[in-house]
Amino acid sequence: MTFGTPSRPAAGFPLDARGVALVFLVELALSGARADAQTPVVFKVSEGVRPDGIVSLYGEYLTCTPTVRFVNADGTAAATATSVQTDRGGHFCRVVFPSIPPGAYRLVVKNGDGWSTRPVYVNRADPRWLSDERAYPGLQLKLIGRNLDAAEYQGTRKTQVRLVPLDGGQTVVIAPDAVNPYCVDFSVPPTLASGKYYVEVCTHSAEFGRAWVRLDNHSEFPDAIRDTVVQVEAAPTSSVALALRVAWANDFNWKQVVDAKRDFRAKGNGLADDTEAIQNALDHVRRSGGGVVYLPNGVYKVSSLILGSRCILQGESREGTVVMVAKTGDDGAIVPKGRAQGISSMTLKYQPSVPPRSQAMLLAGAADRLFIDNTKFDLLRNPDISVQQSPYYFSGSGPLLIARCQFCLSSRNLWDHAVKNRVTFRDNVIDMHDGLGLCIGLLPIFWSTQMGVP
């Protein structure tokens, strides 16, 4: 603690050493009293609270039966409430939401030492992140957060989203496709120009609920997840790419397609080892700037495969194109290396010679724009056998998309993600005999997935 020079006495009243010491002690006592005065500090408030509901406030110095004031957007007091429950340690208090119009209000709290100064709100819209930071006209996005629907706290459902161009152009207001307190689904307008846009949301409830709130970055990994703007770009031209419903499908070279049978002499007869032929095809498209390795219907036996940057392994159909692998171990039989890979329209399984109890991972590696689409993971040998193989494990910077897949599983893990970005698990069917599904992801989105038993 720092103290100033003792006050200068009035003229004609000189201080001796004892007088100076006395003044110093008085100022020390006053400074200590000021330091001990602790006004409330609130860190967190209940969400989605309707009139006559309970508002919980969490923080420090919530002592002496705190008083909570509900403040309007113009700074006037809407109502004041006395705590109905307190914590002896001053860490929380609870009040009844007063009979005022349903909306968002700023809260200030008073204890014996004064009013809180840190701004906190109840029911204010809190957009946290988007289902994707890139989009194209017509694509549906999800804005995920809290307090996004005034109907939750007895208001009227009027939520809107707007896109504000960074360059100062015309703002576009969008009526959502669907709304709930945690998520707003909205589609990018079909005529929206390419560029970067801020994303804002408004619930149109009372007071602070009338304000537009801009999406901000809440990520612990700002290098991988920015979530302050959305980049609108042209839609993919490939029908397969368009079916993925992600803008980063534009990062692949869909125009270069090689046929593993025709161009690289893969057999696909279920007898020959096609590892070399398919790997040569994958290496060829990687060296050529990326592309698609096409597998016509057939059964392809391989030991293992490596998917380089911008490589896509695409079958003719999910049931007709079967890739059977032999490599066991948790480092993966099919491994993505580099950036941007995809697997589509095939069945993946282990060769019959692989013992059911051999621990193995079909796919494993770092995901940096990786998709698995319209793929069947057939890991059932016999429902009575505890099969020790898993579909995949992915880490990395993401994003990762698992869409329109079917999982036929016995035991061990269903999936395992450790991706510090979006993991979108959409439109999948899971047939599980027993086992565990594990997803460790920063921003997981599970969307229209069915669970069942074979």
Mean pLDDT over residues 414-441, rounded? 76
Task: Tell which residue, 432, 321, 415, has the closest CA to residue 380.
Answer: 432
CATH architecture of 126-235: Distorted Sandwich (2.70)
- Write the pLDDT tens digit of every residue in 367-376: 899 999 999 9
* CATH H-level superfamily of 41-122: Immunoglobulins (2.60.40.10)
- Write the pLDDT tens digit of every residue in 203-257: 999 999 999 999 987 655 566 566 789 999 999 999 999 999 999 999 999 999 9
Class in CATH terms, 240-452? mainly beta
* Helix H or strand E segment including 25: helix 17-36
CA distance 236 to 138: 11
Q: Which residues contact 112 (CB under 8 A, 6 or more apart)?
A: 63, 64
Q: What is the pTM of this model?
A: 0.85
Q: Where are the domains of the chain?
A: 1-36, 41-122, 126-235, 240-452
Q: How confident is the model at residue 360 (pLDDT cuts 50, 70, 90)?
A: confident
Which residue has better confidence, 403 or 34? 403
Q: Which residues contact 188 (CB under 8 A, 6 or more apart)?
A: 135, 136, 137, 138, 139, 140, 141, 163, 232
As a 3-state breakdown, the chain gives helix, strand, coil percent values, each rounded to 5, of 10, 45, 45
**Listed range (87-91, 328-332, 348-352) with the worst mean pLDDT:** 328-332
Residues 270, 294: contact at Cβ < 8 Å? no
**Quick one: pLDDT at residue 207?**
97
Q: How confident is the model at residue 22 (pLDDT cuts 50, 70, 90)?
A: very low
**Quick one: pLDDT at residue 414?**
58
* Residue spans of beta strands (DSSP E) within 89-194: 92-96, 103-111, 114-115, 120-122, 126-130, 134-135, 140-146, 160-165, 172-174, 178-180, 183-187
CA distance 359 to 328: 6
Share of the chain above pLDDT 90, in %: 71
Mean pLDDT over residues 395-417, rounded? 81
Task: Tell which residue, 67, 59, 55, 77, has the closest CA to residue 111.
Answer: 67
Task: Tell which residue, 144, 158, 147, 159, has the closest CA to residue 105.
Answer: 147
Take residue 438 and report the two structure tokens written for it: 């594990």
CA distance 267 to 446: 38
- Write the pLDDT tens digit of every residue in 408-421: 887 655 566 778 88
